[in-house]
Structure 1
Amino acid sequence: MTSSNSPGAAAPPGGVEQPAKDPTALDAKLLKVAGVVVLGAIMAALDMTVVNVAIPTFQEAFDASYADVAWSVTAYTLALATVIPLTGWAADRFGTKRLYMTALVLFVIGSVACSLAWSLEALIGFRVLQGLGGGMLMPLSMTILTRAAGPQRIGRVMALLGVPMLLGPIGGPILGGWLIDAVSWHWIFLINVPVGALAILAAVMVLPKDETHPGEKFDFLGMLLLSPGLALFLFGVSSIPEEGTIAATRVLGPGIAGLVLMVVFVLYALRKKNALIDLSLFKDRNLTISVVTLILFVVAFMGTMMLLPSYFMQIRGESTLMAGLLVAPQGIGAMISMPIGGKLVDKFGPKFVVLPGIALIVLGLGGFTQAGVDTSFWYTGGSLFVMGLGMGWTMMPLMTSALATLTDHRIARGSTLMNIVQQTGASIGAAVMSVVLTNQMIDHGVDSAKMQSQQAAGGPVPPGAAEQMQQLLNGAADAFSNTFVVSVVIVALTLIPAAFLPRKKIAPTDVSGEEIPETPDENDRELVTK
């Protein structure tokens, strides 16, 4: 090897050796890009949960039933499902910057329209428009950040993108409850206007110039198969909690039709070059294992995220705002662990980060299997904090593992695929946990409607009613505990595919799957020059 003092070694400028730049450092330029996309992603993630809080208010404002008002949530979800598959192709065709700004504009216009809704039908229609913009924001955010960061920094920068995923379920109920109480329901939509305007202005100034691939033709047949198929399937799944059974016509009809369309798309895409979703991505072993792990994790964890505020409101009698605050320790734990997890993934690979993360979630969630009517908030807060620590080492590291091996335009297609997996898994998880909880309530002889009406009544308690209410609460608490047991089991099963994740730092690959050599980092340079 050549000595550093030999004539063959390149002398540093001015004769003074300069320290090499850390290739994993998050420089100012990358942080600005991250700030722009995280701003848009936070706006979309918050909106998904803020509206959940407003459902009782919508029932009163539009004189409608819960089932009818729930369409304001379902319509947004179905719009997301319809547009997400198109995002990968559109990002390559028109450029991520243009498409990201278009998505922001659609989302803001949809938000303003929702705030002006004069009827429930109008609100549902405007939520579709809002969902078309919101559905593109998260996959585009992942694409922009992955391209800007490169393989050596992807773990740390994806940890930044995990912030909106945390703020959505935690901050949504808090923000929504406060806006409805302090101002009116219109402001849960109008709040998006200043945030969206700031995000659009920042995108114009900060995001890099677009690189497009205009030669690729749009896969119309793929769109006609996958987008309606995904929307129909999710509609069927989303109808399970309301119908109470998978055997209902409203569940089976659209669910089976959507599944058939998706299967036909898979068979078609396997033979089609430049299909709407590039299924050749599954030749990448790391991506395949990451997808399997992620969907199992999302089914269990996202369904549980829906149960936690319900536990505090239905069993503990807390307000929506207070329930959001009581869930906050989970977000605090994740914000502590997520930056650490991102750095460790970049250095060591995902396996030895994700496995401890899942174990922490099992430990924290296991605490809720013992939660009852009078359980200390210190106990629940501690359990949530441990869950948050685990989440920070699980969700985004799995995303990182899936996308770290992809290059060029495959990043946009991979981001789209991961968001379809996440959205589908979240919908399945919410439906599964709702059905489990409903059946547990029935098994324990709990009439949820009766219990909630007695809680809302207030005033003097009639003789015997207090004892009856306590029995209902005890039965409901047991129903929640048993449902949390199911969640713990499914999360624990995630350890099986996670055990096959890469146990060393991931290198990018080309289309054929061959590893692309990276630029030597500082440690490599020292070895070469010694």
Structure 2
Amino acid sequence: MTTLDPASRRIGLILVVPTLMVMLDVTVVTVALPQLTTEFDAPLSSVQWVTTAYALALVAVMPLSAYASNRFGGRRVYCAALLVFVLGSLLTALSWNIGSLIVFRALQGLGGGMLQPVGMAIALQAVPETLRGRMMAILGLPTLVGPVLGPVLGGVLVDHGSWRVVFAVNVPLGLIAAVLAWRFFPRTATRRMPHIDLRAVAALSPGGAFLVLGLSRAGDTGSLLAASILVPVGIGLILLAYFVRRSLRSRTPVLDLRLLTHARLRGGVVVMIFFAGAYFGSMTILPIYVQSVRSDSATTAGMLFILPALLSGITLQIATRVADSVDPRRVAICGIVMSTAAMILMATLLDGATPYPVIVAILALMGVGVGATMLPTMTAATRDLEGADTPGGTTILTTSNQFAVALASAAITATIAALMNSRSAAVDGRGVAGAMSLSSTDRADAMPELASAIADTYLLTAGLLVCALLAAVFVMPARRTLRDARKLAPQGAG
């Protein structure tokens, strides 16, 4: 058997719709961040919580995914989470200020947090181990469509309409997807589960929130040793350490960290923490550069992502299929190298007059690298997992990814704000909000300093990718390919 059967393919295609909605919401908000600082008259350190609150809400519920799937069944959990996401989308579309937008985005995250790990577990359990790469190729379709449609749609809506429309569209699409999921997803066996470790649950998301809060304040203070930074970071680290300790000692952990004894899962998690943080965190940088430094439209910012996203999706489809017969570690290493080179080029070549075709070419290299890295790494990480370990492993993978994105996004926005404030007196200590409010003459005068602040921020993301490369080389184990296994089979039989 070399292809997916119709029932398995249908499951994968149904899962594509909610995943695409989640991705569109993220990309639209990313492009809209500079405009939101103006619309709600708020600094970037506050507006970035529109994405951070969503990511931390994902982290809060993702560890419960494996428990909920085993206790209530994957189909029930997935449909319930999808309905919560739909409700959060409706309320987000009706937000009246920055506070309500942040709260309703968090509600969205509480629903969306279970969609990816539960959906991935349902999909992977529906196919044999040898076809998981092909199933992951279907699950990766939103990675082809979302990054192409999201930034452009977000830019057009910000410039000519309202970003609220994208959230409102989730309501009918989400309801249709919930009906299809209930109709066609297989019923999975449920089993009685011991009481969940509520102390660990109570420590994880607040720990992340305190840590992100401290990092986000770094851009507004003159010293990294300020109490406003060190206190929340310290509290966050203590809570997260407590969570890890509870998870390793509990008989019924919400996040079974003991699964990290699987070398491939452990390697994939470490690689993806650095890679996902660098890539998704960096997506906030370019829209800020286009709108606050060069004073171009959000639509222009969105258009820059079209070709890179197409190349990423095409590469992804090829790479996930190759990963069924070639060691995915080799594919991932090539992808990380290309991505790192792209980040270094952005840091080196970006200034106030860099031609947009040059930027698109660099992003295209990044797109190919991302397509060759993400799903092959995730496929390799989950390939050895079977039975109840599958939802547990996918939950660890997706939770760590989202946590890394939240931390990286906070660090990146803080870096941009700090560099702009320190290098340009024109922004008057207001960072991106100050740059957005400059007149055309003042912005032209400040452009070299503002552009250098953006360029140097890419050094942070490049450093994270170097860490991902080192993890892929030294932590992620090589895998014996299926071709190698077939060669060795006669010897083993004898």
Report Cα offsets for 1:149-192 as digits up to 9, x if no partner. Answer: 33212223223333435655654332233334554444232111
Aligned residue for 1:378? 357
Q: Give unpaired runs (5+ residues) of structure 2.
A: none
Aligned residue for 1:16? none
Aligned residue for 1:14? none
2:370 to 368, 391, 395: 391
Distance 1:356 1:221 in 2: 41
Instruction: Report whether the alignment pairs 1:187 with 2:165.
Output: yes
Cα gap change, 1:351 to 1:272, in 2 (>3 Å): same
2:479 to 504, 511, 517: 504
Q: CA deviation at 1:524?
A: 9.5
Aligned residue for 2:380? 401
Aligned residue for 2:114? 136
Which has the higher Rg, Structure 1 or Structure 2?
Answer: 1
Instruction: Report whether the alignment pairs 1:324 with 2:302.
Output: yes
2:188 match: secondary structure: coil
Report Cα offsets for 1:38-91 as digits up to 9, x if no partner. Answer: 211111222233234555766677676666555444433332222122112111
Matched ranges for 1:127-526 at <5 A: 127-165=105-143, 171-243=149-221, 246-368=224-346, 369-442=348-421, 444-445=423-424, 447-448=426-427, 465=441, 469-500=443-474, 501-505=476-480
Amino acid at match of 2:310: I
**Aligned 8 A contact 1:226 1:261 in 2:** yes
Distance 2:460 2:197 in 1: 40
**Aligned 8 A contact 2:45 2:413 in 1:** no
Distance 1:183 1:89 in 2: 42
Amino acid at match of 2:240: M
Indicate the larger mover: 294-303 or 101-110.
294-303
Amino acid at match of 2:6: A
**Aligned 8 A contact 2:57 2:205 in 1:** no
Distance 2:271 2:247 in 1: 23
2:279 match: secondary structure: helix
Amino acid at match of 1:492: V
**Aligned 8 A contact 2:155 2:301 in 1:** no
Indicate the larger mover: 223-232 or 79-88.
223-232
Indicate the larger mover: 122-131 or 60-69.
60-69
Indicate the larger mover: 342-351 or 97-106.
342-351
Distance 1:443 1:116 in 2: 37
**Aligned 8 A contact 2:85 2:112 in 1:** yes
Distance 1:63 1:371 in 2: 28
Cα gap change, 1:50 to 1:268, in 2 (>3 Å): same
Aligned residue for 1:78? 56
Distance 1:293 1:140 in 2: 22
2:479 match: secondary structure: coil
Q: CA deviation at 1:232?
A: 3.3
Q: CA deviation at 1:343?
A: 1.1
Cα gap change, 1:243 to 1:93, in 2 (>3 Å): farther
Cα gap change, 1:354 to 1:253, in 2 (>3 Å): same
Q: CA deviation at 1:370?
A: 1.0
Amino acid at match of 1:26: L
Q: CA deviation at 1:243?
A: 4.9
Q: CA deviation at 1:119?
A: 5.2
Distance 1:377 1:435 in 2: 25
Report how many aligned residue pairs link the two structures: 488
**Aligned 8 A contact 2:30 2:287 in 1:** no
**Percent of aligned positions that are identical:** 32
Cα gap change, 1:244 to 1:338, in 2 (>3 Å): farther
Distance 2:109 2:320 in 1: 29
Distance 1:495 1:62 in 2: 39
Indicate the larger mover: 493-502 or 190-199.
493-502
Indicate the larger mover: 250-259 or 165-174.
165-174
2:420 match: secondary structure: helix
Aligned residue for 2:7? 29
Distance 2:25 2:268 in 1: 27
TM-score, reference length from structure 1: 0.82
Distance 1:441 1:67 in 2: 13
Amino acid at match of 1:115: A
**Aligned 8 A contact 2:87 2:108 in 1:** yes
Amino acid at match of 2:459: V
2:305 match: secondary structure: helix
Instruction: Report whether the alignment pairs 1:89 with 2:64.
Output: no
Q: Give unpaired runs (5+ residues) of structure 1.
A: 1-20, 508-517
Aligned residue for 1:7? none
Instruction: Report whether the alignment pairs 1:107 with 2:85.
Output: yes
Distance 1:323 1:413 in 2: 38
Q: CA deviation at 1:352?
A: 1.1
Distance 2:185 2:194 in 1: 23
Report Cα offsets for 1:233-265 as digits up to 9, x if no partner. Answer: 344344444556544444433332222122122
Distance 1:245 1:49 in 2: 32
Indicate the larger mover: 355-364 or 207-216.
207-216
Distance 1:494 1:414 in 2: 19
1:149 match: secondary structure: coil
Distance 1:236 1:59 in 2: 20
Distance 1:221 1:452 in 2: 39
**Aligned 8 A contact 2:67 2:193 in 1:** no
Amino acid at match of 2:328: P
Q: CA deviation at 1:312?
A: 2.3
Distance 1:433 1:119 in 2: 24
Distance 1:321 1:176 in 2: 7
**Aligned 8 A contact 2:52 2:406 in 1:** no
Report Cα offsets for 1:5-51 as digits up to 9, x if no partner. Answer: xxxxxxxxxxxxxxxx32xx233222211111121111122223323
Cα gap change, 1:134 to 1:451, in 2 (>3 Å): closer
Distance 2:253 2:373 in 1: 30
1:373 match: secondary structure: coil
Distance 2:435 2:478 in 1: 54
1:209 match: secondary structure: coil
Q: Larger helix proportion, structure 1 or 2?
A: 2
